[in-house]
Amino acid sequence: MITDFTPWASLFGGILIGLGAVVLMVFNGRIAGMTGMLSGVLDPRNPDSPWRLAFLAGAVVAPFLATRFGAEFDFVSPTNGALLALGGVIVGIGVTFASGCTSGHGVCGLARLSPRSLVATLTFMATTFATVTLIRHGFGG
């Protein structure tokens, strides 16, 4: 399986993620961790729900708006929806144990020079490397 290398789109996406994290930190004093935001939205008593919902809505709506202005996203999943949902549950368990997700630790935590975020990000990356190696080479995927 070949993965398309898209340096300019990846760079632009990374800049937008970083910009979003900086804007949220500067104007709200909050870390842009997506799972933390999602868990905060699910608790209706949380006074931070409005900004969390706005941030998450922007993450969902932005790709739809981009396609309206001519952007094309070629995404094909090699697996079915049930396995994708199972993967989401496994990731949810993992971010609970890690006290944060890749965006919270990898983008915001590393920028703050957090040792805990460094360990979490290295663990995420090592686990990803091992999983891809096992799936592609161990199971012939």
pLDDT in the model for residue 101: 83
pTM of the model: 0.69
pLDDT in the model for residue 140: 67
pLDDT in the model for residue 141: 57
Q: Is the pLDDT of residue 2 over 60?
A: no
Nearest by Cα to 73 from 139, 1, 9: 9
Cα distances from 137 to residues 4, 84, 134, 140, in angstroms, run: 19, 20, 5, 5
Mean pLDDT of 52-63: 87
The band of 99, judged by pLDDT with boundaries at 50, 70 and 90, is confident
